[in-house]
Structure formats: structure tokens, C-alpha cells
Amino acid sequence: MSLEDEYRDDPEITQWQGRFITAKTRGRWEYVSRARGIKAAVILAITPEDEVVLVEQFRIPLGKPCIELPAGLIGDDAGGEGEEAATAAIRELEEETGYRAGRIEDLGEYYSSPGMVSESFTLFRAYDLERVGAGGGVEGEGITVHHVPRAELPRFLEAKRATGYGIDVRLLMLLSPLWLKA
């Protein structure tokens, strides 16, 4: 019997629900999902100078700062139900980094940790960037913006890791070409 067959008829049971996350069980499986079906938008932004735009933010679940691609929840604010993923991506990029994208490209929906979290994110590539503000996020987020030359990204991330920072898994897409060379 496959895992899919084993769990197909087991009911999904909500064990706890907060404002943003829900802890659930299905049979013996425990996992977390976003409350209200909220999804996320993640933005890959590279400046005309070939610098990757990254954000640094203290993450309470890790207990340390983390280096990440700009990202945010879609439709998480009151009245934001039905917000389009692309609209959220444009908004979040500007809030977090101070850049406005002239255009964005939808690169698809992905799951970051499907063994324990059902949350998905849509990855966008931002083009024709225009600096319109300082970034830093909304009040209380404490976001620091980094402009890292693409060629220096491996060294930058290793230096951050060596000083105790977390590194978001989505940055692997920028490192993998280095690792996949024969």
C-alpha cells in the first residue's frame, strides 16, 4: 500500500490554529499550513549591475538573523483577500528593498519543505528595477537590504553563515550552477 493510499481516507484534523499558521494531523502525520490558505510571493531581483538584492531579517523561529530573497504573504492584511500573487510580489519588493519592478515574470509555484509544511510560494523574477525608496519593510520588520554581486554571492553567504546567520533555502537556486559543474 502506498503512502497516498494509506492517508487518502484519513481526515485532516486541526490541532491548533493561530492568525497565520495551523497545526494539523492526518493519521500519524503532523504538519503545518498557512491559516486561511494564504500563500507567499518570493522575488528574485538582480540589478543592472548584476547584484542580487537580498534581505536580512531576524527570524524568531531560528533565533538568529537570516539572509533571504525578498518575500511576503499574499492577501494577509485585512481586506487583502483575493490579492493576486504578482501584486503582492510588486508590493513586497518595494516595501522590503525600495525597488520597483518595471515588469515581473512568474517562474511557478514551489514548496519549500513539503514533508512538514503545506505552504507554497510563487517565485517571481523582477526586471527593470528602479530604486524608489530605502526599503526596510514595514514598522517592526527591521529589514536590512544587501546588494551582492552575483559572482561574490557564495563568499557573502559563507561569511554570513560563519557568523551565525541562517541562509534561506531558496538561495540554493543561485548557488547550484556552481555545484552542478562537471
Q: Write the single-letter amino acid at 125.
A: R
Q: Which residues contact 58 (CB under 8 A, 6 or more apart)?
A: 64, 65, 66, 142
Length of the chain: 182
In percent, the amount of the chain with pLDDT more than 90 equals 60
pLDDT for position 179: 66
Region 50-63 average pLDDT: 95
The three state secondary structure string of 24-80 is: EEECCEEEEEEHHHCCEEEEEEECCCCEEEEEEEEECCCCEEEEECCEEECCCCCCC
Task: Give the pLDDT band (50/70/90) at residue 3.
Answer: low
- In tens, the pLDDT along 14-46 reads 999 988 889 999 888 888 988 877 889 999 999
Say whether pTM exceeds 0.75: yes
- C-alpha span between 144 and 97 (Å, rounded): 8
- Quote the cell numbers at residue 67: 539572509
